[in-house]
A and B are shown apart, each in its own frame.
Chain A
């Protein structure tokens, strides 16, 4: 397939592409540019500077919130990936059981459930069992939220795998558990990784559920940013948001590079 350069696209496509990208990325670009603003006032350009990044490094509360957010995201994404993958396996590979359709539908309900309701019900649960709210309650809440996203992603990949591949593995000497390990898991691995990344980003992004389930002294980054912004937008906020955008961009680019590298390596030589 011949790849065209942008200049060869039709005028309509060029306009559509430009408008679409501008709509998506212009706000982010403005955020990034203003994070390098020397002026204290957010809406006045005072020349280039990195002073807000330096000040950010001294903002212990903000850094603590960022650390908390990344820890919550990493733990909850990992837990959600394990649980979500197991749920997807049970739904697409298990014996047909009574109420399977209901179970399948219930798994997807959190996808469309308003976050306020999820957050509130989790809060009521944590209050009912008298748990001290903090890191673990937020992590559990985020696992609940993101697990169904992982399940959806993994289940669609599982659905595209031919059942006879697992049968072939068993036929060639694998007990069922090893057939999963040697054949099914390597094939669904890209979806599992994508599910983890999705869960991680969703957790990092969440404000509503975290607000309900967190306790005093353990704010996540979105909660911290939101509470600061209520008192007026400080340039440090622009700086930390720019850092988050950069971090996410690095993760996504490296993930797609890894995917590309592994497919190139597969073409030339793969280990036996």
Chain B
């Protein structure tokens, strides 16, 4: 579904991604793990079309989208879940949910979102930034599900959440996967990652250092945790 070929990215003079190539198949959940600064978030931004300094190719369903602006990529079915949750302070919770147009074949209705997240329903007319951190994360995920996005780009959706909420995020991603949604996930929490994902890429210094499956991550958990410095 998503193919990245020889992708390099720069911040001014500094190169943060070096010839990254990877692939995510339809219906898969794939994580990017790596230390802070390894280039995980930059990779997601490149896929979304939000990082201007890049070289290489990004393909979606066989179509080269490297030159496509972000809003057109979103309309092809990319769902953006940014690391800061992307809540708009000047928009209500409902407006945050309905801002993006529906783009996919199977968008969630607003009713379904509110049924799944009663906490969002009770605060539907409040500014989104008045929600708790966990509620804002649910809002960010619910927003791309309401869009009907086919490929979710999630940047550390579990960061700073309580174990209960982490589990909820996991349930949500697993349910999305059951409905055929593909997910590319930046994640530091290995336990969470192996619980939701099919495969993992380890990024180091801007390169894909290793591709691993769940059993490999589990058997090397200690070593990986030490490497990631967690």
**A and B: partners?**
no
Binding site for B on A (CB under 8 A): none
Residues of B within 8 A of A (CB): none
